[in-house]
Structure 1
């Protein structure tokens, strides 16, 4: 396909009802229904990029260890040169199949690329190292994985309440409505950062519902400040491995610039390559805020204009494809000086 990445996005629909109906026909389960452990599942490679997440990682890995899924699962933790005990936790936890420590800080996109390079299955699930998943979530992704779909889970941010035994977890399950892609209240009389539009009246935004589970975001359309690539949030995201490799994985320049937009760019690249973005409403995890969440957020926002500018520049270039060799070369270079522990 010729033209720019932005041009390619305008040509791609996101009608995914055939995917969800085929799943029901095969299993008798609703697409958004939590998946029982006995349902046939594809092999799954869970990739967690981690940097200074010792406050949350034991709880995250404990939750992965008790997942109810019928298919084989590997867990790959890639430590992005943490200054705390993140790598020691990963290498010793029984849920972890492979633990990697990068020699120097390279960014979360590079860490995810390394995990994808080491993955032994064709179905990747990116999970943040501070995301605690209910027991059915791995089965939700493994049972629904398919070669042309990016599967989007959701997050419920939980303010830090640490104790001697780790984070204090609520007794109730995480709520779908806590995710900004589901319930969104934008500011008024302020230019929104992504689309640059300004809303003059208050809005009770419902991106997921208003777009028919993202289907109406095809062909490059927007819901106010949201478009389809922005729905591909790698806090919890299922991706076909061969598609990710072909588009070159995550653009690692984002990590060198600062925070944000590398998952949006990956989403754009995969959509341009023909992937659909399909939400899993039942797949919601608790996203554990760090002790210094406010300070980290301010640092992240400072980098946002630069990463957004880089994303805009990439939209003006051709849609990436045929980049498997470059992907392998870049990740193998990172692995050369890394420590890799395999169970």
Structure 2
């Protein structure tokens, strides 16, 4: 187990051992203080036969404890089954990471629901009363839980349609990063600053989402630059395209076009060019852009090509004498 991963089973085991410890501790105190033995007998009878309640019903602690035990055992089995699916069985089938995450997530939620139902049946829960509670909850869902239900349904849509999956590089509004985990209610995105942003699933379904790697990891990159007037434009084109070909991330063969340098415009202070390249991993576009800028600058220095900066020429057409203070001092005084 890696240190950054949380183990759910350990939490459940800690809870179970804590519960058993305190029950045993209370029973030990009762056994020590009860000299006649009647208290232990009454506790045993109440636990096994139940505690009478109103309207002929009774609460049976032994059944409740058994139901809780069955529920926890089924949860542990579900966690083991999910881990086996993700790490072994689904890998052997050949499913990618996104498909494995979708299947294991659905299996996990289905396992929790089944474990809860079986646990309540073993605990002797009256499902007729639960039907009334479910009716009241439906009214609450209609008013106060609309967002929760919306996110839940949106999570199912994301898991079945898979417009995004774990590991994809996406942009959602101002958020850009890699999808780490898709849950039923929300999706976790890790930004380039290593910040984990929780995005509601309803936002991913109802708004525009850019998936940079939906079908593959390649993408086009544009690098803008300018050279001084009087530069050899053909030489500039050859140098820049050669620099691009030498970068390991830039694709030079296959279905992607080769690097292309375009003469875009005559700018105010420069001849404007644009380098278009296809790179193997679009999520690395910032690093590749920086590398190409460094390489282009060095290549221009080696070949004597100047990268200009904005310049302005000022022409004074009239009123030059009024701007020169010495001209006033040299003017002879009139008689």
Q: What TM-score, normalized by structure 1, do the two folds share?
A: 0.20
Q: What TM-score, normalized by structure 2, do the two folds share?
A: 0.20
Greater Rg by CA: 2
Which structure exhibits the higher relative contact order, with contacts defined as CA atoms closer than 8 Å and separated by 6 or more residues? 1
- Whose helix proportion is higher, 1 or 2? 2
